[in-house]
Chains A and B, each alone.
Chain A
Amino acid sequence: MTAPLIRVQHLTMRFGGLVAIDNVSFEGAPGAITAIIGPNGAGKTTVFNCITGFYRPTVGRLALNHAGGEFLLERMPGHEIARRAKVARTFQNIRLFPGMSVLENLLVAQHNKLMLASGYSVLGILGVGGYGAAERAAIDKARGWLERIGLLEHADRRAGELPYGSQRRLEIARAMCTDPVLLCLDEPAAGLNNRESAELNELLLSIRERDKVGVLLIEHDMSVVMTISDHIVVLDYGRKIAEGAPAQVRGDPAVIRAYLGEDETTPEAAHG
């Protein structure tokens, strides 16, 4: 295995007396899909919130490595993690900008690049400098993503009025417009029907193949997880109970007991 893209070491997160994550370590390879699964309340989203800077971990090191250098995420404020370490994420409850158009959502994602091009707005107001060209490039990029997620003709609609499945895809496209090296997806298949899940699989695989972006994936839908993951980490009560390739994890007795259930074809039974 090549050097890991992200290396999580001894991550522990306590909220008062509650230990949400207890000494979890795992690695995510570049250009691979690493899934984090486990029953509700296992601490999966807390891991994401630590990686993306919404929480500051109690203990642990989160090291991200890419061509731009090494970043210790636990020491960086959230917006710097997105801007400099190039980690993007989506949310369990979709967080689009509902009142803004689909295209605007994708342009806001390219804010830092455009801000620089507009001379921090000073040149932009005066209408000098290369802002026009930068904006056209940003629109082209947004157009490319809208084509990939099949929303090109809805570009000027308000994001909030899109159907649920489209909003999910748009949120992924928006995260991808920040040019990430690591994309953290929090339950992207939640609430999708079978056809939409299949489309999501395609999209995630194309993000891995075409964009060479590493993906961290939280998901309950085993049809998604088992099909596309390269590596699976299983959490239960904040601890890592298993790790490995899909086939290996699927057969692990501890995982079956804690999460998959005796009949592994109905993983949903374990959520309740």
Chain B
Amino acid sequence: MALSTVAPSAAAPDWPAALKDATITAAIALALGIFVSGFRTFDQGGLKFDYLIVDVLVACVVIFVGRLGLTLSSSAPVATLGLGVAALLAAAASFAAGKSSFMPSVFLSVVCAGAGLLLVIRGGWALAGRSGGGAQAIHQGGSALSQAMRLAFPWLGAGLFTFAVVMPFLPFADQRVMDLAILILTYVMLGWGLNIVVGLAGLLDLGYVAFYAVGAYTYALISTQHGLSFWVCLPIAGMMAAFFGILLGFPVLRLRGDYLAIVTLGFGEIIRIVLLNWIDFTKGPDGVGGIPGATLLGHPFAETAPEGTTTFHQWMGIDFNANHRLIFLYFVILALAMITNFVTLRLRRLPVGRAWEALREDEIACQALGINPTNTKLTAFAIGAMFAGFAGSFFAAKQRFISPESFVFIESAIILAIVVLGGMGSQLGVVLAAVILIGLPEWFRDLGQFRMVSFGLAMVLIMVFKPGGLIAHRDPTIRLHPANSRSGGR
């Protein structure tokens, strides 16, 4: 064995114990898996069994190897490395063999490759830590990496923004990509809005979609019944949503934590049910259709202009192209989202933003410092709701049709998931999480039934490896010693 070559400080690996442990793990996996995955029923003139015992056995072998490798990673990293390479080779051979592979399914090959990769990383990591000064190097490398990431954050933001601006003109930006980009940006904006309430002020709001609905219906009803344009309705929709935020906030903001969450959840449902049942006003489940789209300086994006207007392509003197409308909508939502971002970043550095964060940290201490907790929470609620209202009115202008079905609880849950996964209070984190949570399920439509599994897997992986969210780091809003490296090093 190559084990004897490692540094003398290492404890000798306890092979029998490791083997026993791995055997037990594999046996448990077998016992659990055989009933869950070992049989498959199918209908062929009566219910029949399909036996998948081989699948389960192969999975158990992979589990045995993986467990053995993980156990040995601290005492015998070389063995871990070897097992990992073996697993990777096996997976590669299986992929190369294609249909005639010894692996019963592609899924198992993928699992095997994943296990091999994990073992190689663990083994390599432990080995690097072993060799003289390796641990030190890793530690320094780690802190240098986090330091570099911290420095890169502002540039990353600027880079993403630049990319977002030029994206519609890049060759790959077809209609599908643009649609997806608009969808993602809408969720980014909603995430940024909710970030004020949840991330900064620490108020768990499970009914955020209600304000989105208020904004959407405000625009839809005013524009269809009174003929006001998108740009006039936008501020009205924001104000209406903020008004509803205050309306909800007054009675409930003295509640804390779970209780507040339940009340906001109820509020979200109340709004949806009112929209569904107040048929005279909202047309109920039929929804509001024929909503006018947004115009650019009064020029609609359409093939033929309504009376008294010229369409965008006539005005510009170019040929009609359906993509123009998408590109225009894209820039509208980009601008709205960037306004949200700008206002949030600005507010964070103002006393009200610091008071929000202080409230999140300790409400009683805030009160002792003369901060009015109710008013401070109300501002957070109202401002968050206002941005949801803007986003809602954009949504109505883009879809041209809205119904209560668009504002169900799962929307609130997704927006909240974006904020939490992104890292509470982190603006960049919201962008990354929105791309992952909204973008991945769209890109992975080809995966068919595995699409939602990949969604769940992404969430689980983020929470396991980054429990504080993708970007959990918080920079102080103000520094006394701007070039102080000491505070960074600690």
Within 8 A of A (CB), among B341-374: 343, 346-347, 350-352, 354-355, 357-358, 360-362, 364-373
CB-CB under 8 A from A206, the residues of chain B are none
**Nearest CB of A to B64, in Å:** 43
Q: Given that A79-B372, A125-B347 are known contacts, is A139 also in contact with B354, CB under 8 Å in the complex? A: no
B357 and A111 form a contact (CB under 8 A)? no
Residue B277 at the A interface, CB < 8 A?
Answer: no
B478 and A100 form a contact (CB under 8 A)? no
**Nearest CB of B to A200, in Å:** 20
Contact size class for A? 35 or more
Q: Given that A108-B355, A156-B476 are known contacts, is A83 also in contact with B370, CB under 8 Å in the complex? A: yes
A104 and B477 form a contact (CB under 8 A)? yes
CB-CB under 8 A from A124, the residues of chain B are 346, 350-352
Residue B226 at the A interface, CB < 8 A?
Answer: no
Residue of A nearest to B486 (CB): A153
Tell me the interface secondary structure of chain A in the complex: helix
Contact string against B for A residues 75-112, beta-carbon threshold 8 Å, 1 for contact and 0 otherwise: 00011111100001101000111111101100111111
CB-CB under 8 A from B355, the residues of chain A are 108, 111, 115
Residue A12 at the B interface, CB < 8 A?
Answer: no
B368 and A99 form a contact (CB under 8 A)? no
B350 and A156 form a contact (CB under 8 A)? no
**Nearest CB of A to B423, in Å:** 13
- Cα distance A95–B478 in the bound complex, in angstroms: 21
Number of interface residues of B (CB under 8 A): 35
B367 and A95 form a contact (CB under 8 A)? no
A111 and B354 form a contact (CB under 8 A)? yes
CB-CB under 8 A from B369, the residues of chain A are 82, 88, 108-109, 111, 174-175, 178
A112 and B370 form a contact (CB under 8 A)? yes
B365 and A125 form a contact (CB under 8 A)? no
Residue A118 at the B interface, CB < 8 A?
Answer: yes
Contact string against B for A residues 187-223, beta-carbon threshold 8 Å, 1 for contact and 0 otherwise: 0000000000000000000000000000000000000
Residue B481 at the A interface, CB < 8 A?
Answer: yes
- Cα distance A120–B369 in the bound complex, in angstroms: 17
Residue B176 at the A interface, CB < 8 A?
Answer: no
Q: Given that A79-B373, A98-B361, A125-B347 are known contacts, is A108 also in contact with B366, CB under 8 Å in the complex? A: yes
Residue A114 at the B interface, CB < 8 A?
Answer: yes
Residue A161 at the B interface, CB < 8 A?
Answer: yes
Residue A121 at the B interface, CB < 8 A?
Answer: yes
Within 8 A of B (CB), among A115-163: 115, 118, 120-121, 124-125, 131, 135, 139, 142-143, 146, 152-157, 161
A97 and B365 form a contact (CB under 8 A)? yes
Tell me the interface secondary structure of chain B in the complex: helix
A139 and B347 form a contact (CB under 8 A)? no
**Nearest CB of B to A75, in Å:** 16
- Among A97, A98, A174, chain B packs the most CB atoms within 10 A around the CB of A97
CB-CB under 8 A from A118, the residues of chain B are 350-352
A79 and B480 form a contact (CB under 8 A)? no
A100 and B487 form a contact (CB under 8 A)? no
Residue A54 at the B interface, CB < 8 A?
Answer: yes
Q: Given that A103-B479, A108-B366 are known contacts, is A97 also in contact with B361, CB under 8 Å in the complex? A: yes
A104 and B354 form a contact (CB under 8 A)? yes
B370 and A100 form a contact (CB under 8 A)? no
- Cα distance A174–B362 in the bound complex, in angstroms: 14
CB-CB under 8 A from A121, the residues of chain B are 347, 350-352, 379
3 smallest CB-CB distances across A and B, nearest first, come from A82-B370, A83-B370, A155-B480
Ordered by A's residue number, 21 sampled pairs between the chains whose C-beta atoms are within 8 Å are: A54-B367, A79-B370, A83-B372, A91-B368, A96-B361, A96-B362, A97-B361, A104-B476, A108-B351, A108-B369, A109-B369, A111-B355, A114-B350, A114-B351, A115-B352, A118-B352, A124-B351, A125-B350, A139-B480, A157-B490, A175-B368
Extra A-B contacts (18), CB below 8 Å, given A97-B358, A110-B351: A79-B366, A95-B364, A100-B361, A104-B354, A107-B478, A108-B354, A108-B358, A108-B371, A109-B369, A115-B352, A118-B352, A131-B350, A135-B478, A143-B480, A161-B490, A175-B368, A175-B369, A178-B370
Chain B residues within 8 Å of A, Cβ to Cβ? 343, 346-347, 350-352, 354-355, 357-358, 360-362, 364-373, 379, 474, 476-481, 484, 486-487, 490
